Amino acid sequence: MSDVTTKLIVRAPAATETKVYLTPEVEKNLDVRLARIEGHVRSIRRMLAEHQDCNSLLIQMAAVRAAMTQAMAKLLEGHIETCVTECVATEEGADALAGLKKALAIVLKST
């Protein structure tokens, strides 16, 4: 019988690197918009709990949808100005544009 030695290789976890994709201005703008939308949704939930009429609820929900549409437009604009532009400059433009097309298809399908 032969002795078999098994080596256990333990690897340290890779350092997590955070890649920033948007400019600080765009990120701040989106955060403010989303906080406003979050507050608006809370108020709609309150309206629902208070048994307000359907028309009022629908009007407020449409306002939230419009605000989300604007937030998505701002995000797409920021994405084009940063990610896509950077990829085009580094000759990875085809992949960036393909990804953008997929994202747009999803966004436009849900509107």
* Count of other CB atoms within 10 angstroms of residue 75: 19
Whether residue 2 lies inside any domain: the answer is: no
The DSSP annotation for 23-37 comes to: -HHHHHHHHHHHHHH
Contacts with 21 (C-beta within 8 Å, 6 or more apart), sequence order:
79, 82, 83
Output the pLDDT for position 82. 85
Domain of 34? Answer: 24-109
Asked if residue 103 belongs to a domain, the reply is yes
The torsion angle over the Cα atoms of residues 34, 39, 43 and 45, rounded to 10 degrees, is 60
- Cα distance between residue 80 and residue 86, in whole Å: 9
**CATH at 33:** 1.20.58.1000
86 in any annotated domain: yes
Task: Indicate the number of domains in the chain.
Answer: 1
pLDDT tens-digit series, residues 84-106: 888 888 888 888 888 888 888 88
Asked if 31 contacts 47 with a C-beta cutoff of 8 angstroms, the reply is: no
Structure confidence by residue, pLDDT tens digits, 61-79: 999 999 999 999 999 899 8
Binned at pLDDT 50, 70 and 90, residue 111 comes out as low
Averaged confidence pLDDT in the chain: 84
Are residues 82 and 100 in contact, defined by beta-carbon separation less than 8 angstroms? no
Tell me, yes or no, whether 60 lies in a domain: yes
pLDDT digits (tens, 9 = 90+) for 26-38: 999 999 999 999 9
pLDDT of 6 higher than 50: no
Per the domain annotation, does 73 fall within a domain? Answer: yes
**14 in a structural domain:** no
